C-alpha cells in the first residue's frame, strides 16, 4: 500500500459518488484518479488496466462535454435506456474485443493475468462509453467489472484498490437503482 494508492482511492470514492448523483463535478476527480492509477497498475504489471487509464482520461473529457451539453432546464443530467439491438451489439462487441485483447496481452507481454485483466479492461471501456452517453446499462457492466476486479486486486496485493472496488460495487448498485428512477 502506497500513499499514491491512498490518494487515488480517495479520488475514486469521490468520483463514483458524484457519478451516481449525476454531478458534473465527478470529472475533475476522475481525471486525477486515472492519472495516478496508470502508474499504480503499470507497476503491478496489470498492463491492460494501466492502458485503460489513458482511455479513461480521454473518454472522461468526452463525458464531461456530453453531460454539460445534455443537461435539462433544471440542470439535471438525463438518463437513457438502450434498446434490445443496441444492448446486443455492445455485448457482442465487448465479448469479441475482450477475447482479442486478452489473447494479444498473453502473447505480447509479461502481464500477470492477461485474460482476467484484459476482460476487466474491455468491460470497463464499454461501461465508460455507455456512462458517458448517460445509458443506464453502464451500471450493470460496472457491477460485473467490480465483481471481477476485487479478487484480481486482492491477488496482486492492491488492498486499498480492492477495498475501493468493494465500495464501487455498492455505489454501482446504488447508481443502477438511482439512474433507473431518473431514466427518460
pLDDT in tens, 118-174: 999 999 999 999 988 889 999 999 999 999 999 999 999 989 889 989 999 999 999
Cell numbers describing residue 83? 434498446
Structural domain spans, the chain = 3-71+84-182
Q: What is the pTM of this model?
A: 0.83
Q: Are 177 and 79 in contact (CB under 8 A)?
A: no
State the DSSP string of 124-167: HHHHHHHHHTTBTTHHHHHHHHHHHHHHHHHHTT-HHHHHHHHH
State whether the Cα torsion 56-129-160-113 is positive or negative. negative
Q: How many CB atoms lie within 10 A of CB 147?
A: 13
Q: Which residue has the cell 432546464?
A: 73
Q: Which residue has the cell 504489471?
A: 45
pLDDT in tens, 82-123: 999 999 999 999 999 999 999 999 999 998 899 999 999 999
Q: Name the band, by pLDDT with cuts 50, 70 and 90, for residue 184.
A: low
Distance CA 120, CA 181 (A): 27
E-state strands within the chain: none
pLDDT of 52:
86
Q: Are 11 and 29 in contact (CB under 8 A)?
A: yes
Mean pLDDT highest for which of 18-27, 37-46, 82-91? 82-91
pLDDT of 73:
67
Provide mean pLDDT across the span 55-74.
Answer: 84
Amino acid at each position: 500500500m502506497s500513499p499514491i494508492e491512498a490518494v487515488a482511492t480517495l479520488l475514486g470514492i469521490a468520483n463514483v459518488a458524484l457519478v451516481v448523483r449525476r454531478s458534473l463535478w465527478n470529472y475533475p476527480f476522475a481525471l486525477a484518479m486515472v492519472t495516478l492509477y496508470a502508474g499504480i497498475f503499470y507497476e503491478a504489471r496489470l498492463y491492460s488496466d494501466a492502458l485503460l487509464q489513458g482511455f479513461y482520461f480521454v473518454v472522461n473529457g468526452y463525458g464531461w462535454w456530453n453531460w454539460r451539453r445534455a443537461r435539462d432546464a433544471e440542470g439535471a443530467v438525463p438518463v437513457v435506456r438502450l434498446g434490445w439491438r443496441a444492448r446486443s451489439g455492445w455485448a457482442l462487441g465487448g465479448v469479441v474485443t475482450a477475447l482479442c485483447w486478452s489473447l494479444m496481452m498473453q502473447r505480447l507481454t509479461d502481464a500477470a493475468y492477461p485474460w482476467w485483466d484484459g476482460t476487466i479492461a474491455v468491460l470497463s471501456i464499454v461501461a465508460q462509453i455507455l456512462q458517458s452517453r448517460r445509458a443506464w446499462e453502464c451500471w450493470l457492466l460496472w457491477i460485473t467489472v467490480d465483481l471481477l476486479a476485487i479478487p484480481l486486486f486482492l491477488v496482486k496485493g492492491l488492498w486499498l484498490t480492492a477495498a475501493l472496488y468493494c465500495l464501487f460495487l455498492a455505489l454501482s448498485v446504488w447508481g443502477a437503482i438511482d439512474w433507473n428512477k431518473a431514466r427518460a
